[in-house]
């Protein structure tokens, strides 16, 4: 998501970095090559274009919005199924110790530039690294409270020096005091890597309620709207539903799964409900037109309305809005970018053809 303009290093410095394939600048900027239409990490071994053919961007989404595709060699959107090693190490440490507070000084000691960390977490999680740590502590605190842990002990375990400080921080996030949260729910959010780039997944304790591409321009407002709609805070973390979703998505992209089984919740207006329910009925590997979708919801001629509702779908891939195309067979619009729509359709149709 666009979090405001980011400051890039001087152009001469960026040129030196990509000419040296300097991995230290990965995540600090991305370079796009006008002659190929592809954008890369500075460390990409395939990138040695002439400076006149290069554009520089601070984030992957800015590169995509400018019309460039991610490089298949260096995979700037982390499409290898795992976050970068330095991110994985930070996440592992935070998860293992909910009281930890990793400061900018700590990052510098590890030779990780704080600006690189802030950019990565804002881009992939919609919040700064410090906010991620704080909400992760609160999410674990809520889980402990649900299981009957003592409030004072919970606050101390999560790194607070006083019960009042813990209570104030807890109320700011959850909107209620810790003592009134034994049965409280929240929306748990997690970032998953995939062949179409990072995905933001969210679930309540009962169902998956959100799956979106991490570089969507409106992602930040979507998450705020999600929180407001369910009247629950969005907290980084894990639960059984997100684990099931991760496993099913892995099987889907590996060609082993055609029908998702994880529970979904997608509240909306009666019209939205009709459209999304019809989307769920489109068979794997097949497409229908917007006109046909309008007929199926009982409103022939309402192509524009169903197109808008398609764009409002909060659960991409699982509610397969990518399977709706123009009357002439052209792909039409897709909030995640037409290259993703083409990827998903090609993936399904290729596997369907291989088994028929």
Are 219 and 212 within 8 A, CB to CB?
A: yes
pLDDT band (50, 70, 90) for residue 180: low
Tell me the pLDDT tens digit for each residue of 9-27.
Answer: 888 888 988 888 877 677 7
DSSP-assigned letters across all residues of 199-267: EEEEE-SS-EEEEEETT-TTHHHHHHHHHHHHT--EEE---HHHHHHHHHHHHHHTTS-SS--S-B---
The span from the CA of 85 to the CA of 60, in Å, is: 18
- What is the biggest distance separating any 2 CA atoms in the chain, rounded to whole angstroms? 65
Per-residue model confidence (pLDDT) at position 199: 86
Q: How many residues does the chain have?
A: 356
71 catalytic? Reply is no
Six-digit token string for 170: 């807890």
> What domains appear along the chain, each with residue ranges and CATH number?
11-70 (3.40.10.10), 85-180 (1.10.10.60), 187-253 (3.30.160), 270-354 (1.10.10.10)
Tell me the pLDDT tens digit for each residue of 282-336.
Answer: 999 999 999 999 999 999 988 899 999 998 999 999 999 999 998 887 887 787 8
- Residue range 246-273: average pLDDT? 94
Are 18 and 42 within 8 A, CB to CB?
A: yes
Q: How far is residue 163 from each of residues 91, 132, 186, measured CA to CA in Å? A: 26, 21, 22
Q: Pick the catalytic residue from 158, 202, 209, 321.
A: 321
Tell me the pLDDT tens digit for each residue of 96-143.
Answer: 776 678 888 888 888 888 888 888 887 666 678 887 877 777 666 666
What pTM does this model have?
0.60
Give the count of alpha carbons within 13 A of 185, CB side only: 11
């Amino acid at each position: 998501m666009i979090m405001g303009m980011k400051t890039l290093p001087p152009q001469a410095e960026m040129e030196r970095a990509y000419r040296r394939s300097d991995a230290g600048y990965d995540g600090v900027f991305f370079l796009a090559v006008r002659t190929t239409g592809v954008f890369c990490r500075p460390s990409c071994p395939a990138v040695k274009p002439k400076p006149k053919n290069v554009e520089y961007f601070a984030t992957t989404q800015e590169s995509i919005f400018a019309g460039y595709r991610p490089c298949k060699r260096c995979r700037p959107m982390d499409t290898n199924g795992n976050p970068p090693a330095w991110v994985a190490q930070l996440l592992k440490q935070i998860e293992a110790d909910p009281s930890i507070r990793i400061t900018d000084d700590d990052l510098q000691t590890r030779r990780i530039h704080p600006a690189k960390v802030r950019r990565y977490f804002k881009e992939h999680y919609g919040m700064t690294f410090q906010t991620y740590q704080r909400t992760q502590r609160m999410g674990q605190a809520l889980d402990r409270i649900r299981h009957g842990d003592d409030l004072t002990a919970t606050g101390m375990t999560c790194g607070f020096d006083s019960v009042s400080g813990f209570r104030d921080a807890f109320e700011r996030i959850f909107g209620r005091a810790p003592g009134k949260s034994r049965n409280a729910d929240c929306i748990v959010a997690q970032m998953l890597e995939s062949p179409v780039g990072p995905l933001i997944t969210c679930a309540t304790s009962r169902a998956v309620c959100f799956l979106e591409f991490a570089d969507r321009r409106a992602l930040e407002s979507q998450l705020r709207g999600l929180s407001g709609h369910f009247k629950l805070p969005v907290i980084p973390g894990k639960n059984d539903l997100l684990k099931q979703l991760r496993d099913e998505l892995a099987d889907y992209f590996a060609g082993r799964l055609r029908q998702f089984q994880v529970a979904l919740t997608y509240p909306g207006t009666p019209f939205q409900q009709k459209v999304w329910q019809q989307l769920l009925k489109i068979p794997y590997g097949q497409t229908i037109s917007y006109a046909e979708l309008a007929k199926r919801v009982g409103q022939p001629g309402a192509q524009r309305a169903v197109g808008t509702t398609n764009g409002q779908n909060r659960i991409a891939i699982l509610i397969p809005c990518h399977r709706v195309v123009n009357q002439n067979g052209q792909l039409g619009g897709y909030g995640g970018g037409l290259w993703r729509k083409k990827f998903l359709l090609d993936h399904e149709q290729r596997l369907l053809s291989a088994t028929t």
